[in-house]
Structure 1
Amino acid sequence: MSDPKIAPTDALLKRITAPVKASLADIPADASYDVVVIGAGGAGLSAALTAAIEGARVLVVERTEYLGGTTALSAATTWIPVNSHCADVGTQDSVEKAEGFLARAVGERSPAALRSAFVRNGAAAVDYIERQSQVKYRARPFHPDYLSELEGSTLRGRAIEPKPFDGRLLGDWFSLIRPPIPEFTVLGGMMVDRDDIANLLKLTKDWNAFRYSLGIIARHAKDRLGHARGTRLVMGNALIARQLYSLLERGVQFCVSTRLERLIVDEAASACNEGGVTVGSVTGVVLSAGGVTRSLRVTGGVVLASGGFNRHPKKRAERLPGIAQEWCPGAPGHTGEAHDLALAAGARYGTGGLSDCFWAPVSLRKRADGSTAAFPHFLLDRGKPGFVTVDQRGRRFVNENTSYHLFGIAMQEANKTSPAIPAWLVTDSAGIARYGMGMVRPGGKGFAPFIAEGYLIEAQTLAELAQKLGIDARTLEATIAQMNEAAASGVDPLFARGTTDYQRANGDATRTELANCCLGPIGQGPFYAVRLYPGDIGAATGFVTDANARVLGAGERPIGGLYAVGNDQQSVMGGVYPAPGITIGPGMVFGWLAARDAVARSKGGRAVAREPSEALG
């Protein structure tokens, strides 16, 4: 279930068995680094790992007490066209096919040159990382591009995911990995991925599923004897753990719970490179933590990977008006403080994107510790047959099987003319028993706490449900009647639900009795509803960069030694969400490009994004 070939070296064993050193106080006052990475999410750790492989002295700075950022909470799907794993699932991809797909999906919302740099370097970046580290990927057998109706899309191959990892290999460093969203785990901290869920749901019906499930449950029970949570890591935790293990192998240093106070900029510095004139140069950073301050010299570059502007109070209010911060399911570190420093150094935000953020519908519930759980409704309920989403008047306003990003945008657009925030996700007793509903597990049991807290609304009839939701009963009943007619015919006349490969992937292909695997009847009371809000899952607006992720200032000139990757970089997708993993994929590729350029800069040279023949050779 994890890679059996991993065996720590003597040097690594010594490090992971010693007390964890990840404090600013452990850094000498006169320290100098080739590359300093601000932010320890997937993009930042990709940059750090690349720089370390290139032989650089690397420091990773993380504002929170955990490594991993929002990547650790995610599925860690990584969208990389033309990657070497495409062949494993029978897909023939090409640069031309992928670039054409993105041109149709994104258009003029992002520079074609940056999209080309991503596509033409992606496969090389994956091969480089896999060949020289413990980061290993696999392709999903079926994982369509979200805009599967567009020419150039694929059904599988571009979406790769990290292989599971045994967290015990990290020793005490395991405690630094950001735990998954609790509501995404079972049995007190056991992570589950798509394959696990499929087997657990068939636990009592299939011998192979029973045997598989028993194995992971037994492993988890053993884990809990010595750990606060399960050590069998999947999805985002697996990716971060694999990156961390590889970084520890190469002696990279970390500082957690540490703030970037200042970028040290030499305004007089200028140099003529083949890429043009670079005016001004970042030559160091000032960091603080627990009363300790360090001013560190940086010879190659500072890579900003702090996660975006989402929790910056002023920038959030300006760019996401009316969107409460508690609706955001992302990790807490993206405060935007590093953005203020970059903007002061001459950086600027990109423009022209479809949206400033990427979106998903979320439902909210207060936890016992007083925090708010924002649960993203990615695929387990809203697109399944027997579910419908309505606004506060009881009318549909969206194709329930569209991508979570377009769903979140549709909520905001609909809300301009009819109250749709919150919207209501509605199903019947059969639907909730089969698929669950948000934080309510499948199986049809354990509803009482959710009902008592008001998270789940239950009613015996549609009229009673409408009364509890503040909706006109006749309107809701008419909407459900329309859905039942659509289920019978297999045709959704309002939103064409279930008409693309991606939409059908979000349905239930096992329901062969249905005319459309996305449309099922709603009629067996009691009935249930959950409130949905548009939750921002990551910034799409970030700093303008060139193809090597160098931050551009006035006159399109690079700010020397300053790079932006991940959600700190202006989205190469232009705020569009054409496929799964389109934040983590570019984050990894541009992290790779940025690190190579920064390391070359530290040695007095400069790396460049490669042409197709080089990148794919």
Structure 2
Amino acid sequence: MSEGAAAQETDVIVIGSGAGGLAAAVTAAQRGLKVLVLEKDTVYGGTTARSGGVLWIPANGINGPRSDADVRAAREYLVRECGEALFDAGRVDAFLANGPRMVDFFSSQTSVQFAPLPAYPDYHPDEPGAVPGGRSIMAAPFDARELGPRMKALRPPLKEITFVGMMFNSSQEIQHFFKVTRSLRSAVYVARRLMAHGTEMLRYRRATRLTNGNALAARLAKSAFDLGAELWLDAPALRLVTQGDGRVTGVVARHPETKADVHIRARRGVVLACGGFPQDVARRRALFSHAPTGAEHHSPAPATNTGDGISMGIAAGGVFEDSLPNPAAWIPVSLVPRGKAPHGVFPHLIDRYKPGVIAVNPAGRRFVNESNSYHDVGIAMRREAGHAAAVAWLVCDHTALRRYGLGHVKPFPLPLWPQLRSGYLLRGATLEALARRIGIDPAALQQTVAEYNRHAEQGEDPAFGRGSTAYNRYLGDHDHAPNPCVAPITRAPFYALRVTVGDLGTFAGLRTNERAQVIDARGAPVPGLYAAGNDSLSVMGGNYPGAGITLGPAMTFGFIAGEQLAALQMQPTETAHAG
């Protein structure tokens, strides 16, 4: 990493090293511009490195031939998902037109490669314009050793969703671990993966077979390094620098070596890509109804994602748009004890879809189709809570727990006692005993499970329709018939795990236009200032249409920003002042 003497002048400054920021940096650098990436943390990769690494790009060309009809259908779907009042035609059309171009550029000109996900359905597959698969792609696995010494500074994956530090490439790969005691083929696969992973850990002290978001962050970083982009770690941007006419001309940042404040001029412009505000307690208190003090909300995003880019954008004349009905991408999360260390945050991405797992509210009643998307389940939890902390319990029996695990609890043959001893997982010999342990009405829980079981025996869920959509079934157990998402809860002992509402990133953000420019209250661009990723207002209107609707637009608008910056004429040197 180039961390020597502070660069006093460059073409483009990118603040943040996640997918949006690195996409802008790579695009600009590939077009011959001098690029400096400033990263507040001591590691690079942002939230992207902890993510699933999936991008939602209609007509992406990776899952099959492109189709103009798919673009038209995707637009129809987004009109429905956003709602007419929040549908931004200019930005949506820019995303749909440039997303496939972005995929082509990175696939052909950089180290970024994508893998197909042809069967991954849109999250609301029965809505007009939705499709049962083909719009989501993901980063291809990557060998971290290609980063050389920079491998050490790549943000590791989220610890809570790894197994002894091992990342998984897909839900299909995870199925092998679920079936390890029931399938010879899966047992052999798991043994080989564990042996390879053990070798990596012994030699490099981290996994080198990178998958998901860790692979995407590494591929983007490798591309940036290969093109000569400079990256400063432990170098927070402190404020933007503007001219008298409001043009953003640079950044004041903390130099990583001298720790002195340094003014860095940007001849073309600045891109804000700091990951939104998931760890900004004040904004959470103001915008998240389920977090009246801001502390009731927990996010697996990096602790450094505190809204810095948004604050700098506002100071430069940009507008923070906070009117979305859902200011963040909600997900049920559980808090994992770590001894004396701060708790970990586990995002419940897979377990809710499995047969034999239900969610109940504090009154002991089901309230949602547990196999719907994490965002939809989060919306339901918030609706149940009103203006109080949103809490629910995941409940299952012994069969489901040992077959699929639950949250941070791994399936058989791994032991349960660590999670039982820490209090993360609660157990009862009967449903009545379990209800008393979790503090809900025993009669209500018994009645809820009895009502659910009455239909679950036949694989049905008339109350909430689990398994009724292609998306529900996609993450269920395909070996379980007749419904991959439904099984009765009958075998004692019974288990429960407390979940609250967290996020996978924020949706509220700076207003931007179809060229990724930050715009002011009049709708005019703030000269020299761009935003990508979660620093910009979500193009999805606060909804969650499909897998990858954060990273897809982040990389697309980062790509657009990079192209726009490359097309600009260099600004003449002028005296600037801090703004």
Q: Shared fold by TM > 0.5?
A: yes
In 1, the alpha carbon distance for the partners of 2:493 and 2:68 equals 48
1:254 & 1:440 partners in 2: Cα distance? 38
Q: What is the distance in 2 between the residues matched to 1:193 and 1:284?
A: 39
Q: Deviation at 1:467?
A: 1.0
Per the alignment, in what secondary structure is the counterpart of residue 83 of structure 2? helix
| Contact 1:311/1:325, CA 8 A, preserved across alignment | no
> Where in structure 2 are the equivalents of 1:436-447 lying within 5 Å?
436-443=405-412, 445-447=414-416
Match of 1:563 in 2: 530
After TM superposition, the score normalised by the length of structure 2 is 0.94
Partner of 2:448: 479
SS at match of 1:332: coil
Conservation of the 8 A alpha-carbon contact between 2:178 and 2:403:
no
Q: Deviations over 1:310-334 (max 9, x none)?
A: 2223222211241536611112221
CA deviation digits over 1:562-589, x for unaligned, max 9? 0011000100001100100000000000
2-structure distance, mates of 1:458, 1:326: 25
Distance of 2:68 and 2:525 partners within structure 1: 37
Equivalent position SS for 1:562:
strand
Residue 93 of structure 1 deviates from its aligned partner by 5.5
Cross-structure match for 1:427: 396
What is the CA-CA distance between 1:445 and the residue it aligns to?
Answer: 4.2
Where does 1:406-417 land on structure 2 (aligned, <5 Å)? 406-416=376-386
Q: Choose 249-258 or 288-297, whichever is displaced more.
A: 288-297
CA contact (8 A) 2:112 2:139 kept: yes
Alignment of 1:527-542 (within 5 A): 527-542=494-509
Q: 2:247 aligns with which of 281, 301, 306?
A: 281
Q: 1:534–1:304: structure 2 CA closer, same or farther, 3 Å change rule?
A: same
2:267 to 282, 293, 299: 299
Deviates more, 1:283-292 or 1:435-444: 283-292
How many aligned residue pairs are there? 565
Residue in 2 that maps onto 1:372 = 343
> Alpha-carbon deviation of 1:472?
1.4
Q: CA deviation at 1:216?
A: 2.6
Given that residues 353 and 541 in structure 1 are in contact (C-alpha distance below 8 angstroms), is that contact kept between their aligned partners in structure 2? yes
Between 167-176 and 330-339, report the one with greater CA deviation: 330-339
SS of the residue corresponding to residue 202 of structure 2 reads coil
Query: Contact 2:250–2:265 at 8 Å: present in 1 too?
Result: yes
1:216–1:489 Cα change, 3 Å: closer
CA-to-aligned-CA distance 1:250-279 (integer Å, 9 cap, x gap)? 1110111111111111132xxxxxxxxxxx
**What code does the residue aligned with 1:415 have?**
A
- Report what 1:356 is aligned to: 327
The CA deviation at 1:184 is 1.8
Paired residue for 1:27? 6
- Correspondence for 1:396: 366
Which residues in structure 2 correspond to 1:72-471 (within 5 Å)?
A: 72-87=49-64, 94-108=70-84, 109-186=86-163, 188-194=164-170, 195-268=172-245, 280-289=246-255, 291-321=259-289, 322=291, 323-324=294-295, 327-368=298-339, 370-379=341-350, 381-416=351-386, 421-443=390-412, 445-471=414-440
Change over 3 Å in CA distance of 1:415–1:325 after alignment to 2: closer
Check conservation: 1:545, 1:552, Cα contact below 8 A: yes
8 Å CA contact 2:178–2:404 kept in 1: the answer is no
Higher mean Cα deviation, 352-361 or 454-463? Answer: 352-361
Kindly provide the CA deviation profile for residues 352-399 of structure 1, in whole angstroms up to 9, marking residues without a partner as x. Answer: 4231111110011221451211100012x1121111110111011111
Partner SS for 2:510? coil
Greater CA deviation, 363-372 or 36-45?
A: 363-372
Distance 2:298 2:410 in 1: 21
Larger CA deviation: 246-255 vs 499-508: 499-508
Partner SS for 2:243 = strand
Name the residue aligned to 1:573.
540
Matched residues in 1 for 2:114 and 2:268: separation?
29
The equivalent position to 2:42 in structure 1, one of 39, 60, 65, is 65
Kept after mapping to 2: 8 A contact 1:436/1:444? no
Confirm or deny that 1:518 pairs with 2:485. Answer: yes
1:504 shift after superposition: 1.8
Is contact 1:91–1:157 with CA below 8 Å preserved after alignment? Answer: no
Q: How far is the alpha carbon of 1:222 from its aligned partner? A: 1.9
Cα distance in 2 for partners of 1:99, 1:254 equals 37
1:226/1:152 Cα in 2 relative to 1: closer, same or farther (>3 Å)?
same
Q: Which is further off, 171-180 or 192-201?
A: 192-201
For residues 539 and 176 of structure 1, the distance between their equivalents in structure 2, rounded to whole angstroms, comes to 25
Q: CA RMSD in A?
A: 2.0
Q: Alpha-carbon deviations, 1:161-189, whole Å to 9, x = none?
A: 01100001111100111111112222x32
- Quickly say closer, same or farther: Cα 1:227–1:441, change in 2 above 3 A: same
Identity %: 39
TM-score by length of 1: 0.88
